Amino acid sequence: MKNYKRLLQYIRPYLKQLGLAIICIVLAAAANLYVPWIIKDMIDQVLSDKNMALLNVIAIGIVVVFFFRGIFYYGQSYLVSYIGQKVIIDVREVMFRKFQRMPMAYFDRHQTGETMSYITNDVAAIQSALVDQLIEFVTETSILIGSIVMMVYLDWKLSLLTLVIIPLVGQAMKIFGRKIKRNGTVIQERMADITSLLQESISSIRVVKSFVREKYEIDRFQRQNELNFQAAMKNVQLTSLLTPTVEFLAAIAVTFIVWFGGYEVINGEITAGALIAFLTYAINLANPVKRLSRLYGNLQKAMAAVDRVFHIIDLEETIRDKKDAIELPQIQGHVTLDHVTFEYKKGVPALQDVSLEVKPGEMVAFVGPSGAGKSTIANLIPRFYEITGGSIAIDGHDIRDVTLASLRGQIGIVPQETMLFSTSVRENIRYGRLDATDEEVEAAAKAANADAFIRNLPQGYDTQIGERGMNLSGGQRQRMAIARAILKNPRVLILDEATSALDTESEKIVQKALDDLMVGRTSFVIAHRLSTIFNANQIYVIDHGRIIEHGTHEELLEKGGLYSHLYNIQFKKTEA
């Protein structure tokens, strides 16, 4: 129950509403305890003594009690649902904040659908644990305690006989509960797998259709759906066994009550009305025990989701600000890498002993085969990953000693695949600086050679571009990304193969915008097309995580090394 207690901490801001809700639940449950007492009075006093006055009192009492019961029932449902929804919103926000702080390495290891499942399926299961189960738990517990008190008041000997069965019920619930919780974890994992598969398949629908793999994807989904079905049926099997087990134990208790109670009535130790009332309370006792057993099973299933949620919340944030981290002042853009080593996977170095220095305003380029480590260097500068050894400094400040916000706030990145949001063109560009005016947004678009095509869109800057900007061409998306970077006005700029996916015409337009953007900024260019980096101050050739040569374009051609080899391959193809 450790994590359930943690979950209850989220209720603390709503203790007033919770207290009022519990009062409503208890009073609504108390109405159920009134009915057996009515039966007792009807048999022992109204029917035997023909007491019409008492009959009238009982009739009025029933109407009044159940009128207020309706009011209390509404109060309990509304207040508990309010608390549950508030807690879910709070937990969901905590999880979203957690994912925003998690390092890139986490997202490299986990599918997008799996991450989404934590915030949707698992958090939704918390509502069951808090709302439905809490109402039923307090209601049934109130009826249970109230019934026991009334039973002891009516006949303590019969009560002792009845209560012997409760430890047996508790043991059965404990045994089944453990199994149900384990299976609940499997169910949540299966749901996460389905969400991941859905996200992956739908987001890649163009690839699916181009390879005519619809049937293959349907088969994958069916297999995953079947695994989810099997896990769900296992849970049904366990809960279906738990309820009849508890009911059978309760039936044994009722049998003893009927026999021993009848014996006492025959001997005049208890009235017939009192026995009927006792039996009713015993049934009231059996029903809460049965419902609590079902509730316990459902709660254990929900707790599997709660455990998954807190597992995420408790994950270590490997890249975060030091306690004594300082704000990085306005930088000039002097970047140094000193014997930098990095590993994505322990024992498998992606970079080895990389050292370089870039002065303010210089443009440096990284070239080399795929997987050589070019993008890795670009990802280490804004501290998306933590270096394994060595140091990276900007204007003499080790990037680990400054706050992430002040570091990344002065670095602009234009990636190969531009990620746009399903909002307007204007808001996508404004993402570079949220307080920018409309005039500043449009000025950035003009500087990125994007203003003309934007104004030709149906609603101009207010055009909704759709998910990931798929309504735009690759060159248009890339120019919007450049406009976003211009608006941010960073001192350090990283271009990660920003034109490699474009056609020749789009590349010329985008390259012109990039050239303008790089003026006066320290720029790191990861190049696929060598023609874009001829004017770089320094070109670093990376292979197997090491810098194997560096120099200007002319110097590297004279060396006749890997750069010269790559150049000859590209430009012989061009000539051909």
pLDDT digits (tens, 9 = 90+) for 62-108: 788 888 888 988 888 888 888 888 888 888 888 888 888 888 888 88
Evaluate if residue 139 carries a pLDDT over 80: no
Q: Please, what is the Cα angle at 364 between 359 and 370, to 5 degrees?
A: 145
Within this chain, domains 325-410+491-552+563-576 and 416-489 share the same CATH topology? yes
Higher pLDDT, 215 or 501: 215
pLDDT digits (tens, 9 = 90+) for 4-54: 788 778 888 888 988 898 888 888 877 777 777 777 777 777 666 777 887
DSSP state of 552: -
Average pLDDT over residues 206-219: 77
**What are the φ/ψ torsions at residue 75 (nearest 5 degrees)?**
-60, -45
How many angstroms separate the CA atoms of 132 and 351, rounded? 53
Q: Using pLDDT thresholds of 50, 70 and 90, give the confidence band for residue 533.
A: confident
pLDDT score recorded for residue 549: 92
CA distance 370 to 374: 8
> pLDDT tens digits, residue range 241-280?
877 877 777 777 777 777 777 777 788 777 777 777 777 7
More confident residue, 402 or 574: 402
Average pLDDT of 394-403?
94
Give the residue, 40 or 215, on which the prediction is more confident.
215
For the stretch 328-345, pLDDT in tens is 999 999 999 999 999 988
The residues, ordered by sequence, that sit 6+ positions from 159 with a Cβ below 8 Å of its Cβ are: 148, 151, 152
Pick the range with the lowest mean pLDDT from 213-217, 274-278, 408-412: 274-278
Closest alpha carbon to 92 in 404, 318, 313, 315: 313
User: 500 pLDDT band (50/70/90 cuts)?
Assistant: low
Backbone angles phi, psi at 15, to 5 degrees: -65, -35
Exposure b/e, 294-325, CB count within 10 A at least 16 = b: bbbbbbbbbbbbbbbbbebeeeeeebebeeeb
Contact call for residues 103 and 317 (beta carbons, < 8 A): yes
The C-alpha angle 448, 452, 455, rounded to 5 degrees, equals 120
pLDDT of residue 358: 93
Q: What is the pLDDT of residue 385?
A: 92
Nearest to 496, CA basis, from 401, 575, 417: 417
Q: What mean pLDDT, rounded, does the chain reach?
A: 82
- Name which residue leads in pLDDT, 100 or 146: 100
Q: What is the pLDDT of residue 576?
A: 45
User: What's the pLDDT tens digit per position in 537-556?
Assistant: 999 999 999 999 999 989 99
Query: Exposed, middle or buried: residue 203 (CB in 10 Å: 0-12, 13-18, 19+)?
Result: middle
* Contact (CB, 8 A) for 212 and 271: no
Classify domain 325-410+491-552+563-576 by CATH architecture: 3-Layer(aba) Sandwich (3.40)
The token pair at 168 is 């047996």
Comparing 143 with 483, the larger pLDDT belongs to 483
- 3-state DSSP assignment of residue 461: helix
Strands 348-358 and 397-398: unpaired
Residue 541 has what pLDDT? 92
Number of other residues whose CB lies within 10 A of the CB of residue 266: 9
CATH of the domain spanning 416-489, picked from 3.40.140.10, 3.40.605.10, 3.30.43.10, 3.40.50.300 = 3.40.50.300
> Which H or E run contains 209?
helix 205-210
For domain 2-313, give the CATH superfamily: ABC transporter type 1, transmembrane domain (1.20.1560.10)
Tens digit of each residue's pLDDT (9 = 90 or more) over 158-196: 777 776 766 776 677 777 777 877 787 788 788 778 887
CA 116 to chain centre: 5
Domain residue spans in the chain? 2-313, 325-410+491-552+563-576, 416-489
Tokens for 261, please give them: 């109670």
CA gyration radius, the chain: 35
SS3 content of the chain, % helix, strand, coil (to 5): 65, 10, 20
